[in-house]
Amino acid sequence: MSSVSFDFNALAPEIEVRVEALLAQMTLEEKVGQLFQANLRWRDDLDDWIRQGHVGSLLSLNGAEQINRFQRLAVEESRLGIPLIIGFDVIHGFRTIFPIPVAEACTWDPALVEQAARVAAVEACVEGIDWIFAPMVDIARDPRWGRIAEGAGEDVFLGSAMAQARVRGFQSANLPGGRRIVACPKHYAAYGAAEAGKDYNTVDVSERSLRDTYLPPFKAAFDAGAATVMSAFNEIAGVPASANAFLLKTILRETWNWDGVVLSDFDALGELLHHGFAADHREAALRGFLAGVDMDMMGNAYPFHLANLVREGLVEEAQIDGAVRRVLRLKFALGLFEQPYTDPALAAQVQFTEEHRALALEVAQKSMVLLKNEGNLLPLGAGLKTIALIGPLADDHHNPLGCWHGRGRDADVESVLDGLRAVLPEETILLHVPGCAIEGDAAAHADADFDAAVSAALVADVAVLVLGEAEMQSGEAHSRAHLDLPGRQQELLEAVAATGKPVVVVLMAGRPLVIPWMVEHVPAILMAWHGGIRSGQAIADILFGAVNPSGRLVVSFPRSEGQIPVYYGRKSTGRPADSEGVIQFDRRHRSVYLDEASTPQFPFGYGLSYTDFSYSDLQVETPEVTLDGGVVVSAEVANTGGCAGVETVQCYVRDLVGNVTRPVKELKGFQRIALEAGERRRVRFEIPVRSLGFHNLEMRYIVEPGDFRVWIGPNAAEGLQGEFVIKTP
């Protein structure tokens, strides 16, 4: 697969000439029309609006034939024949559904994630989609927030790497039929910091946190060539993001010198009324446009009020022209004027191919994280006579698709039951019992068959329970206050575990769950997430050892909801939990809980293998560096177990003293390495000193000279430690 991306920033000079020539012919209403995106539910007379040139973009259409019909209205029946740009939420695959993005990120393999994004672009473009509303690059540290499923987790460095990989994949050159796709990173900005994990909720973060934590993945996406961005629903410190001039002008246009298209999220301008930031849609149009939103998605602000605001003198037509130029440049760069239509026959040729399905299997295998394997229960032996497969997700052909599953179909999905049947010998007896439903309380699901589940477990050599969330229990508008197993699944688990038989839990979910009882009482736990169409085969391959699990967590698992947010890159505080230097009274006078540990259940970067890895001989090869230099650090990593495996070696740094406080650790490098049993390798990291900075008291990005600590290890909680010093020249 090609790794070359189309460069929307390297526009041919003639495009500017064509843009200006077209702009000169447009009426004010036609200009405003280019700044409006609708879907089919917006108005019954949508066709007429398109014929009049009053709609510039459509979203969420269904198939090439429908898209071609609307393109003909724009190209052949409007005065200027300006094509529409067609957008769609392609989050983790289009027809071939990959694991949800937080699971994809657990591969720690940006090149693989880029390949998956390219497959999504290939399959989407042949239906006439030009604009993918992804990647979601929000840093998310609260698993109550359902949209944690759509991003790359809690870390800035890894999140930025995944943002770039997905942009490159979506914007791949040489797509079928000569088509092109543009990515749209979202949600700009800090949506992942919503209070209490409630979707659409208020965000109140400092400017420094905004600049150091929530904005870098967007900048990384733009550096990779992303030509559009979607503004967020949330407010930040009292100003909604979709009318926030600091975000949309000061940062985007002035600081980053970015000249792409800003699209509002779905009716985000209309929601300014509900925020109490605008009295009506007219004021919402005024505030949103002047703040920097180019295109109004599914709102009643721009199409009804923006032209009048120009006539009233509140908006200059030159400002309208600037936004329209950005939209027209994008349409020319996409080649829509030359090729507005799509061949409907292409989809059957390039969608859901064996190559795509094989890649979906590889991503699923590498995304799954082995959380526990007491007594090396896994991989399961080939000599098992009877296996009890229990749980509401064991033979599920829908929920593994996960949230935002595009054109994915239930019939495409391999369930765990399918996967086990494919690998087990005929003589092995496989007893399948659902046990209970995914959701609902005891009264609603009195028909739960715990007795059948227990009976199956009692006669089996091992019980495999497939538990977790339904796909609609995570994603947008699906926040949860309680992160335990939904419905009666915990009762089912405890009943089966009480049999004393070996128990393996396969956990499917769109977020980290709170599972302390499971961790204490179940010997083997595999986090399978919502793993897409090849979930069943991937799970079977891991359970029986055809694949050695290599996924590593990109978000910490809390022990209880009361710990949230719990993440590795926290601040030390003046009374750190692990410090011996606190002198007042006793341990209670530190930053700890009385009734819960301060550490997560499973830390960022964590994941087990069927082999063992050891770390030794840390060498800081550059104990003293200057501001324009680089830190070089290395360690020996050895496979000390009995089989080949893949280790994700992680490098963390801490700035010990700053003019503003710094996190206790920050990821600054990672490498996936494959080692045969007994093999060892020196893993080397080269860290540019420039990457070790932060925004100071004056909000300038600086790197301060001083003492630093560095770790190389398997996760954020473990590792070999060294030191280095940054000195002024």
| Catalytic hit among 109, 265, 267, 396 | 265
Residue ranges in 368-515 assigned as alpha helix (H): 416-423, 450-459, 489-497
> Do the beta carbons of residue 649 and residue 712 sit within 8 Å?
yes
Amino acid in position 387 = I
Pull the structure tokens for residue 108. Answer: 């720690």
Burial status of residue 482 (CB atoms within 10 A of its CB: 0-12, 13-18, 19 or more)? exposed
Q: What is the spatial distance between Cα 640 and Cα 289, in angstroms, rounded to a whole number? A: 60
> Do the beta carbons of residue 609 and residue 556 sit within 8 Å?
no
Q: Residues 6 or more apart from 207 whose CB is under 8 A from it? A: 695, 699
Nearest to 555 by CA among 159, 208, 136, 114: 159
Residues in the chain: 729
Secondary structure of 281-307 as H, E, C letters: HHHHHHHHHHHCCCEEECCCCHHHHHH
Amino acid in position 704 = E
- Angle in degrees, CA 258, 162, 718, rounded to 5: 130
What phi and psi values does residue 293 have, to the nearest 5 degrees?
A: -80, 120
Nearest to 532 by CA among 56, 7, 94: 94
> Do the beta carbons of residue 116 and residue 93 sit within 8 Å?
yes
Pull the structure tokens for residue 253. Answer: 């246009």
* H or E element in which residue 273 lies: helix 272-275
Nearest to 99 by CA among 56, 36, 150, 35: 150
Q: What is the spatial distance between Cα 516 and Cα 484, in angstroms, rounded to a whole number? A: 9
Strands 524-527 and 369-373: antiparallel
> Coil, strand or helix: which one is 473?
helix
Rg of the Cα trace of the chain?
26
Pull the structure tokens for residue 498. Answer: 């009480």
DSSP lists the bridge partners of residue 684 as: 634
DSSP lists the bridge partners of residue 231 as: 188, 264
Q: Residues 6 or more apart from 322 whose CB is under 8 A from it? A: none
> Do the beta carbons of residue 403 and residue 91 sit within 8 Å?
yes
Instruction: Report the b/e string of 549-580 with b at 16+ CB within 10 A.
Output: bbbbbbbbbbbbbebbbbbbbbebeeebbeee
Nearest to 676 by CA among 711, 707, 647, 648: 647
Burial status of residue 205 (CB atoms within 10 A of its CB: 0-12, 13-18, 19 or more)? middle
Q: What is the spatial distance between Cα 88 and Cα 298, in angstroms, rounded to a whole number? A: 13
- Angle in degrees, CA 487, 437, 197, rounded to 5: 40
Q: What is the spatial distance between Cα 171 and Cα 118, in angstroms, rounded to a whole number? A: 8
Q: What is the spatial distance between Cα 189 and Cα 232, in angstroms, rounded to a whole number? A: 6
DSSP lists the bridge partners of residue 264 as: 231
Active site residue 199: no
| Active centre residues (catalytic) | 265
